[in-house]
Chains A and B, each alone.
Chain A
Amino acid sequence: MIIPLLKVTNLSKSYDNIVGCKNISMSLYPGEVLGIVGESGSGKTTLINCLSGNLEPDRGKIIFNINNKETDFLNISESEKRKFIRTDLAFVHQNPRDGLRLNVSAGGNIGEKLMSVGYRHYGNIRSLATKWVNKVEIDKSRIDDLPITFSGGMLQRLQIAKNLITSPNVIFMDEPTGGLDVSVQARVLDLIRSLVNELNLTVIIVSHDLAVIRLLADKMIVMKNGTVIESGLSDQVLEDPQQEYTQLLVSSVLQV
């Protein structure tokens, strides 16, 4: 039997009287891409922030099981938690400016992740950074340029490189193609898909764009008002939605 990499039980988080997410239970298996969809305010971001350690949930359990080592994410000390986040998790923000240091060169941004897990050899850091800049299809002559000189799509690819360089076990992506125009979106999605296949990544991806989910996700959950209303294989959910809201969501996608 395969043990889930991440097991969430009855997770709840509210902001005063406003429900963020309520009684969420789910599991994620190694190499799986899980899509979370729902309208604005449905609790997608609250959920992903709780799972990635950016937010403290009110109730529930989050258990990571990495290399047969169980981590009770909500019951470890802060230093252990930050170390775990640093080494085992990664977070790709919707706005790449939130995940990058704009006054530090592209190479420095990618290298920071390595240095934070203990790399102290400039040559090694440099060659790994160059390799990853190449991998996300940024010309390696741009490695010493500041991110402010990059286009939106390049920034997002740089952010992805920064997050993947330390081979994290779970990658969270919050609307990774949100602020990009359609052709750039396609390129970034293509890149994410090829990296997912090549490196066998485990990803939780939040999006309101069903096309993104259809392209990337193996499984998906649909959220509304802070709860999960439908979940399953993404093809199944998208082809044969059971809930009224999911049906509405699927049918409201523009057919070109």
Chain B
Amino acid sequence: MRKTNNVIKIKDFKVDKGLPFDQEYNFAYLDENTKKMIRRAIIKALCIPGYQVPFASREMPMPYGWGTGGVQVTASCLTKRDTLKIIDQGADDTTNAVSIRNFFKKTSNIKTTEITEKATLIQTRHRIPETPLKKKQIFVYQVPIPEPLAFLEPKVSETIKMHSLSEYGAMHVKLYEDISKNGHIETAYAYPVKTNDRYIMDPSPIPKFDNPKMNNSPAIQLFGAGREQRIYAIPPYTKVKSLDFEDYPFDPFKAEHACDICGSKNTYLDEIIVDDAGNKSFICSDTDFCNKRKNK
């Protein structure tokens, strides 16, 4: 039985305190052998940019679809000196972000932050921060479906073959369908990319507005898919190109508005219905960036 009185008081952090540090857990929840296994998968993934490395995903104390893959990657990369930032749709204060941040506070007692520049490790769901990532930062994506070819080819044995032989022609079928139906490429998130001129990769459901940020980024980008048991990665300064047609080039679309809170014109915006009359407001999805700009 777990002792509940053996609790260490932790110092006040800037963000909400969450649960107290629980020493009964191994540092960052996972046991060391599991972390070793995951780190090996990560290193392999970094060596072959965009290639999906299988790994023995563990049961985590949260449901699939809530970031079990990202959490395992984060847990394996975390050291005691790290400062962690967790975002969900760009925000630091939404359910997924708060619960994962509390999880790591409870199990590892590391520092957390909401400020992108101060973080050494950032786990994200569905966004890349507006503040450019920098050297020595690790950026972890939560991935629901890692296989970009899944919608075309349900057989995994076949998609593996397609990847290994670079048979990617059919990948453009989805874009073709978009243009023939809508006159432009409608895919707005999880927009497929080619990594290092070799592997086609699903960038997780980030908006296509964020796709250019992956290209030549100085940070390490890691992708974890818990249910599908795959890890893939983009090492620093790697070419990442969004797929397109010669006559329909890639367009990182965003809403034609400025943020109603901070006034930013070149950030990705959330559209919010503010009353029963259907009036809308557009605000930055990156809460850290928006707050900083507003307070300037």
Task: Give me the interface of A with B, judged by CB distance under 8 Å.
Answer: 78-79, 82, 86, 101, 104-105, 107-108, 111-112, 115-118, 120-123, 125-126, 143-144
Contact = CB atoms under 8 A, between A and B. Distances in A.
Contact of A104 (B167, B169, B177, B179): B177
Contact of B173 (A115, A117, A121): A115
Given A112-B169, A116-B170, A122 B176 contact: yes
B167 A116 contact: yes
B180 A108 contact: yes
A123 B248 CA distance: 9
A128 to B, nearest CB: 12
Give the dominant DSSP class at A's interface.
Answer: helix
B80 interface: no
Interface residues of B, number: 17
A219 B11 CA distance: 88
12 contacts: A78-B165, A101-B152, A101-B173, A104-B177, A107-B176, A115-B176, A116-B167, A116-B170, A120-B172, A126-B180, A144-B180, A144-B181
Contacts of B180: 105, 107-108, 126, 143-144
Interface of B: 152, 165, 167, 169-173, 176-177, 179-181, 245-248
A144 B167 CA distance: 25
Nearest to B153: A101
Nearest to A113: B169
B173 A79 contact: no
Contacts of A101: 152, 173
Contacts of B173: 101, 104, 108, 111-112, 115
Given A120-B246, A121-B246, A122-B179, A115 B165 contact: no
- Most chain A CB within 10 A, of B170, B171, B179, is at B170
Considering the complex of A and B, which 6 residue pairs feature the smallest CB-CB distances, nearest first? A116-B169, A122-B245, A115-B169, A115-B172, A121-B246, A79-B165
A126 to B, nearest CB: 7
B216 to A, nearest CB: 23
Contacts of B247: 121-123
Given A115-B173, A122-B176, A122-B179, 4 more contacts: A108-B177, A115-B169, A115-B172, A120-B245
A121 B169 CA distance: 12
A125 B170 CA distance: 13
B199 to A, nearest CB: 15
Contact of A105 (B167, B177, B246, B248): B177
A18 to B, nearest CB: 25
